[in-house]
Structures are given as structure tokens and as C-alpha cells.
Chain A
Amino acid sequence: SAVISQKPSRDICQRGTSLTIQCQVDSQVTMMFWYRQQPGQSLTLIATANQGSEATYESGFVIDKFPISRPNLTFSTLTVSNMSPEDSSIYLCSALFPGQGYEQYFGPGTRLTVT
């Protein structure tokens, strides 16, 4: 398994502002993912973040709204820009471990509330 940490664990933000979420993995990984979990719902992939390349976004998610950085093999950030109350969700990062049967391990999540 792996230890994945996220910061902040929760935040309350005003609409129109931006929040950057950090994700740190305790070992080097090529592929990281960012998911959104809206209240009481399942998880939806926002984007895939590979080190050394641009993030790949899923349908319905755009770079201007959710810019992602992946500066090295253990770290990634997701920014939620120009927030609205509809962005209130839990945001989770995950890391893929091909050597362990392509298992994905998740961080504890960032609970975002936009007022």
C-alpha cells in the first residue's frame, strides 16, 4: 500500500475565490488522478495527471476551472477556480501502482464548502 496525504483536509471558501489542494505520495508514481465526490454521491474522475505531461481532463471538466500541476513523481496540486456553491464536494487524489496489480490508493480527501 501507500501513504497519500492531502492538504487542506477541509475548507470553507467564498464564491469567486480559488483553492489549491495539495497531494503528496510517499513513493514515486507515474500516474495520479483527481476525483470529485459530490455529497452523497459516487466518485467522478476530473483528470489524470502524469508527470512530465499535461493533465488529461474528462468530459465536463476543463483546465481553466480545474488547473492541475504535476511537478515531480510524488506531488500534484488541483486548483478549483472561481468557485461557486456547486463546487462544494470532497476532492480526492489517488496514485496508481502498476507493480501491485494496478491498484489505486487514495488520499483522505479535501472537503470543500463554498458559500
Chain B
Amino acid sequence: GDSVTQMEGPVTLSEEAFLTINCTYTATGYPSLFWYVQYPGEGLQLLLKATKADDKGSNKGFEATYRKETTSFHLEKGSVQVSDSAVYFCALSFGNEKLTFGTGTRLTIIP
């Protein structure tokens, strides 16, 4: 079945550091790919998405590019802030079907 593999956490970075959270997927066909963020005590917020190969999703300084060749959708940000501390989930779906989530990566940014 379809699956999403995320970089093991937790990840701790200093403020203004460069962030990469790796995400790869296994699926039959070409799913839509998503990054969700969960701040402490809150629900999931859609951070960005890409629906086809070579699409780049971006939001709040975060970016991820849909790489069909490597079946990857790595999340990047050039300069992280303390407010970016959260759990990040990579996910895939096919149209109106369910989301399949990765295990989540807990990110902590220290001042």
C-alpha cells in the first residue's frame, strides 16, 4: 500500500539555521503531496502542497518540491525562527481519498 517515510526526529536547531526535513513516499501512481504542521496543543494546519511532478509548494518561508524521480518531497526553510517549533507531518493523497501520513518530525528551535 501507499506509505510515507519521514526523517527521524526530534530535530533541534538554533535560530536562523537552515532546515531540511526529509520525506519520501511509496505509491502506485502520482499522488498529491502535503506538509502539515501541528503547533503544541493545536490541530493540524496545512502548510503547503504540490499536486504534480516538479511543482514547488511554498508558504511562510517553507518550500518543498515534488520530485518524481526520487519520490521525495523534502521540506526546507532558509532561516528558522523559534516560532517554527512544532511537529511537521508529510502526507499524500489521491484526489478525494484519505491522507496517508508519515510519522511526524518534532522540530525545536532554540534562541
List residues of chain A with CB under 8 Å of any chain B CB: 1, 6, 31, 33, 41-43, 45, 48, 58, 92, 94, 96, 98, 101-109
Contact of B43 among A48, A92, A103 (CB under 8 A): A92
Q: Which of B49, B98, B102, B103 contacts A103 (CB 8 A)?
A: B49
A101 touches B49 (CB 8 A): yes
* Nearest chain B CB to A37 CB, angstrom units: 9
Q: Which of B32, B43, B103 lies in contact with A106, CB distance below 8 A?
A: B43
Asked if A45 and B99 make an inter-chain contact with CB atoms under 8 angstroms apart, the answer reads yes
Known contacts: A42-B89, A101-B49. The answer to whether A106 contacts B44 by CB under 8 A is yes
Chain B contributes a number of interface residues (CB within 8 A of A) equal to 20
Residue contact A102 to B96, C-beta cutoff 8 Å: yes
B93 interface residue per 8 A CB criterion = yes
Q: 6 additional contacts, CB 8 Å, given A42-B102, A103-B46?
A: A33-B99, A43-B99, A43-B101, A94-B99, A98-B96, A103-B49
22 pairs, CB–CB < 8 Å, chain A vs chain B = A31-B96, A33-B98, A43-B44, A43-B99, A43-B101, A45-B98, A58-B98, A94-B44, A96-B96, A98-B95, A98-B96, A101-B32, A101-B49, A103-B34, A103-B49, A104-B46, A104-B93, A104-B99, A105-B46, A106-B36, A106-B45, A108-B43
**Residue B42, interface by CB 8 Å:** yes
CB-CB under 8 A from A104, the residues of chain B are 34, 46, 93, 99
Provide the bound-state CA to CA distance between A6 and B42, in Å: 12
Closest-CB distance, B96 to chain A (whole angstroms): 6
B93 touches A1 (CB 8 A): no
Among B34, B93, B99, B103, the one with the most A-chain Cβ atoms within 10 Å of its Cβ is B99
Most chain-A CB neighbours within 10 Å: which of B32, B43, B44, B99? Answer: B43
Q: Which of B32, B42, B104 contacts A102 (CB 8 A)?
A: B32
User: Does B24 belong to the interface (CB within 8 Å)?
Assistant: no
In the complex formed, the residue of B with least CB distance to A105 is B46
User: Nearest B residue to A107 by beta-carbon distance?
Assistant: B43
